[in-house]
Amino acid sequence: GAVVSQHPSWVICKSGTSVKIECRSLDFQATTMFWYRQFPKQSLMLMATSNEGSKATYEQGVEKDKFLINHASLTLSTLTVTSAHPEDSSFYICSARLAGEVDTQYFGPGTRLTVL
């Protein structure tokens, strides 16, 4: 149980285009989902927290207009990288959390974004 999927697993796009990444909890309802960014051989940095039905909470330094997060249902959150540039190339990982399980996050497999 507690499986989280991400789609796509990898994407290559041209500079200036927008890319949408989906994060789904397959067998549970996730009231909270988290989006992380990871550069090669680096730590996971929390970008934002999304709660179903409300606006996402962004970490300091993360541009809200650049990284649009939507958590429209209890099983789906999306991250849209708008007007992507090469410096946005990274590994994006989401995680999901059950209501009442504050300390447990279930991670997706990640999405590799390459912006040319």
Partner 1 sequence: SQQGEEDPQALSIQEGENATMNCSYKTSINNLQWYRQNSGRGLVHLILIRSNEREKHSGRLRVTLDTSKKSSSLLITASRAADTASYFCATVNYLADRGSTLGRLYFGRGTQLTVWP
Q: Which residues bind partner 1 (CB under 8 A)?
A: 4, 6, 32, 34, 41-46, 49, 51, 57, 91, 93, 95, 97, 102-110, 112
Q: How far is the CB of 67 from partner 1 (least distance, A)?
A: 17
Q: How far is the CB of 17 from partner 1 (least distance, A)?
A: 23
Q: Which is nearer to partner 1, 75 or 106 (CB)?
A: 106
Q: How far is the CB of 100 from partner 1 (least distance, A)?
A: 11
Q: How far is the CB of 77 from partner 1 (least distance, A)?
A: 13
Q: Which is nearer to partner 1, 13 or 44 (CB)?
A: 44
SS (H, E, C) 24-66: EECCCCEEEEEEEEECCCCCEEEEEEEECCCCCEECCCCCCCC
- Contact (Cβ atoms closer than 8 angstroms) between residue 90 and residue 21: no
**What's the rounded Cα separation, in Å, for the pair 113 and 95?**
17
- Contact (Cβ atoms closer than 8 angstroms) between residue 45 and residue 30: no
**What's the rounded Cα separation, in Å, for the pair 29 and 43?**
27
**What's the rounded Cα separation, in Å, for the pair 66 and 29?**
27
Q: Which is nearer to partner 1, 16 or 109 (CB)?
A: 109
Q: Which is nearer to partner 1, 19 or 58 (CB)?
A: 58
